[in-house]
Amino acid sequence: MVPRYEDLKGKRVLVTGGAGGIGGACAEAFAREGARVMITGRNRERLEQKVRNLAQAYGANVDFLACDIAAEAGRTQLLENMPVLDVLVNSAGINIPKPFTDNQLEDFEAVFGVNVKALYFVTQAVVRQMIADKRPGRIVNISSQAGMIGLPLRTVYCASKHAVDGFTKALAVDLKGHDINVNGVAPTFVETALTRKALTDPDFSSYIYGEILLNELPATADIANAVLFLSSEASRFMTGTTLLVDAGWTAH
């Protein structure tokens, strides 16, 4: 049974990376709860399709903005079109798996550009707005178990997600007294466009199932359920923490 969060009805939510994988599941979960949702991403066609699907399924109030938040011009475009928000979900993220010695500067800049820089400055803009309006809010950062452990072929990705977890803690401290909760969700491997190719590799799949403690990997909806919880009054005394949804991977 999926828990319901009546207090999210009518809340204004921005989900970055909201057309795919985890971000798309989050957008759907908020739409199901009656929130007013805006999603962003680079691919206009995918965003339009996601909005149509959500409107058809839930009669939802969903809008989109096609922009590249890793670029200053894209962030400016977002700020000019961003509604007054109650909840920000930073879901946009990329990974470029490579051996450490093969990584190039452009790989590092691409991953950190989305996973860290875009997240940091979009959050800054939203928080400034919340503070100026003296409104409570929720910030939820999609991190990864890679923010707490090391994973093969993922030095850049792990470094970026460790940065996200540190940012979550530090921002919560900085926002003391503003009634803005800052938390994260750290999934294990979930089948999305970002991970599908790796999961089809028999050796890699065997490695993953050898590390988790449950019999299956979480679905994107399981991650979205954690995001809903952290966006709702059910988590009102949580801030500066990151919830693991890792099927037990980091327990050993």
DSSP code string of the chain: -----GGGTT-EEEEETTTSHHHHHHHHHHHHTT-EEEEEES-HHHHHHHHHHHHHHH--EEEEEE--TTSHHHHHHHHHHPPP-SEEEE---------GGG--HHHHHHHHIIIIIIHHHHHHHHHHHHHHHT--EEEEEE--GGGTS--TT-HHHHHHHHHHHHHHHHHHHHTTTTTEEEEEEEE----STTTHHHHTSHHHHHHHHHH-SSSSPPPHHHHHHHHHHHHSGGGTT--SEEEEESTTGGG-
Q: Tell me, what's the pLDDT at 192?
A: 79
Domain 6-191+219-245, CATH: 3.40.50.720
pLDDT for 144-155, tens place per residue? 999 999 999 999
Q: Tell me, what's the pLDDT at 1?
A: 63
Q: Tell me, what's the pLDDT at 71?
A: 97
Q: Tell me, what's the pLDDT at 41?
A: 97
What residue ranges of the chain have pLDDT lower than 50? none
Which active-site residues does the annotation give? 157, 161
pLDDT for 168-197, tens place per residue? 999 999 999 999 999 999 999 998 777 788
